[in-house]
Amino acid sequence: MEGESPALKANLTEWRFNQYPKYILLPIDENHEQNRSSLKNIIFSEVIPRPLERNIRLVGASEDALTNILDMDPDITNREEFLEFIIGRKLPYGALPVAHRYGGHQYGLWVGQLGDGRAHILGEYVNRKGERWQIQLKGSGQTPYARTHDGRSVLRSSIRELVASEACYHLGIPTTRAAALVVSDDFVLRDMYYTGCPRRERAAILLRLSPSWFRFGSMEILAKTGEISVLRQFAEFTIKEYFPDIHGTDENRFIRLFSEVAHRSLDLVAKWQGMGFAHGLLNTDNMSLLGLTLDYGPFGFVDSYDGGFVPNCCDGEGRYALAKQPDVTETFLMKIGLKEERWGDEQLVEKLLDMMQQTGADFTSTFRQLSELEPSEMVSETKLEEKWALKRLSMHSSWGCWLDQYRERLDKEAVDASSLGMFEDERRRRMLSVNPVYVPRNWLIHEAILDAEMNNFDKVRYLLEVMRRPYEVQAEAERRGFSAQPPQWAYALKISCSS
């Protein structure tokens, strides 16, 4: 019928890449034998994925990414050809596999050329909404940029990225996406905590999606090595394809590009802070030019609030601690139900975070439970007994004083409302819309990984399902304790940057 959207594709014969990906306009090295040290004046290297071989199994898939980005019927995941697509053995029509060259500052030091050492951009897909997406495999074999490892990803880190990237999307955090994950019985050696005791882990491949995989380091490498003509070509391409509000004839277009990238990055960090998320490895090779959360490594959602929270066990100096990511007070005003910033609001927010840190109150559940009670109920021992995170916070000696200040501040906004009742309803609606019930806590992902290593993928798939609706209370998730106080062992979990 007229006006109907095209049907979702049920097989890979019907599904195909755009015949000419836009990145074909940038310099691509076609010499497959060239090593990374001699590469120059290129943006990509053409390289074919190396498929996994032994006993391939689907760990999980994002129905939303499949249907709303790739126009695929979710049942396609049951087909053998879909698994062959993810492992890189069967590439759809229009594929042009490349690895991206970039550099980076890591822990504050320039480390030179890096690049996609185990990832292949397969091609571009323009979906039924007219959106252009680059499809990438992560863990699909060595490229000219591979360093000391074998071009593979392991199951544990791949599960973390699958769950976290989809959760971040549904939480409202700009992010790359993950469509599906497969695991094999091919083994790789990894020293998870860099103790000199590597162990065998199973190799996995993640199907990732992004409008672009360009990073800060994509430009840095060209500037550092004096490849100015390629840098200009790359910058012009980036402006034309991803920043349409910047006119190509604007003599200040490169300054405007820098400003736009900076503002998108600040907005991203504000969203991270509002969810208690710390990236853990915020190097310039992991920062997207489009302001997207990119390359989930040792990330973490903070449990007991601590401004010094460091999700990466390799970050001994706390360089990427939560509190070292820029403070953005607006973000927290929304979380406590305020619409506009007034004098004294910054101190109100800072005092709340300080009390949370001193009492070890849970970040996510404190803000959610503040959303669920009226201010007058927050002094009731009976009500607080039902709210485990607020109960802990209320043990602080300044709780009553802060609550008086909070109620006084709310009263100032209520004056502008037609009735106090309507204002309170609006406050709660506003807070419930920005304070989730569920985030992918490390202990939840850890349990899912343990089961997945025994070939039981149910917890991975259930986590994906719950995180599709993180702001809604879900009966089964409550039964499983997803919003309850984390178990004591969860606070001792360490996340490595080894993957």
The tens digit of pLDDT for each residue in 385-438 reads 999 999 999 999 999 999 999 999 998 887 765 566 678 888 999 999 999 999
- Give rounded-to-5 percent helix, strand, coil for the chain: 40, 15, 45
What local confidence, expressed as pLDDT, does residue 391 receive?
A: 96
First CA to last CA distance, the chain:
48
- Written in H, E and C, the secondary structure of 85-101 is HHCCCCCCCCCCCEEEC
Rounded distance between C-alpha atoms, residue 45 and residue 52, angstroms: 21
Answer yes or no: are the C-beta atoms of 171 and 439 closer than 8 Å.
yes
Cα separation values, 159 from 162, 180, 332, 419, 449, Å:
5, 10, 30, 48, 7
What local confidence, expressed as pLDDT, does residue 3 receive?
A: 44
List of the chain residues with pLDDT < 70: 1-6, 32-38, 149, 307-329, 416-421, 497-498
Answer yes or no: are the C-beta atoms of 341 and 330 closer than 8 Å.
yes
Rounded distance between C-alpha atoms, residue 5 and residue 391, angstroms: 50
Catalytic choice (29, 71, 116, 285): 285
What local confidence, expressed as pLDDT, does residue 5 receive?
A: 52
C-alpha 267, offset from chain centre: 14
The verdict on whether 64 is a catalytic residue reads no
- CB count in 10 Å sphere of residue 417: 14
Rounded distance between C-alpha atoms, residue 164 and residue 177, angstroms: 9
Element (H, E) at 182: strand 177-190
Amino acid at 374: E
Residue with tokens 């995941």: 77
Answer yes or no: are the C-beta atoms of 348 and 407 closer than 8 Å.
no
Cα separation values, 277 from 83, 156, 324, Å:
32, 19, 12
* Residue 339 DSSP label: S
Using the Cα atoms of residue 30, residue 31, residue 33 and residue 36 in order, give the sign of their dihedral.
negative
Residue with tokens 């178990």: 487
- CB count in 10 Å sphere of residue 263: 11
Element (H, E) at 368: helix 363-372
What local confidence, expressed as pLDDT, does residue 106 receive?
A: 86
Angle at the Cα of 173 from the Cα atoms of 167 and 174, rounded to 5 degrees: 110
What local confidence, expressed as pLDDT, does residue 329 receive?
A: 65
Rounded distance between C-alpha atoms, residue 274 and residue 436, angstroms: 10
pTM of this prediction exceeds 0.75? yes
Amino acid at 469: R
DSSP 183-228: EEEEEEEE-TTSSS--EEEEEEEEEEEES---BHHHHHHHHHTT-H
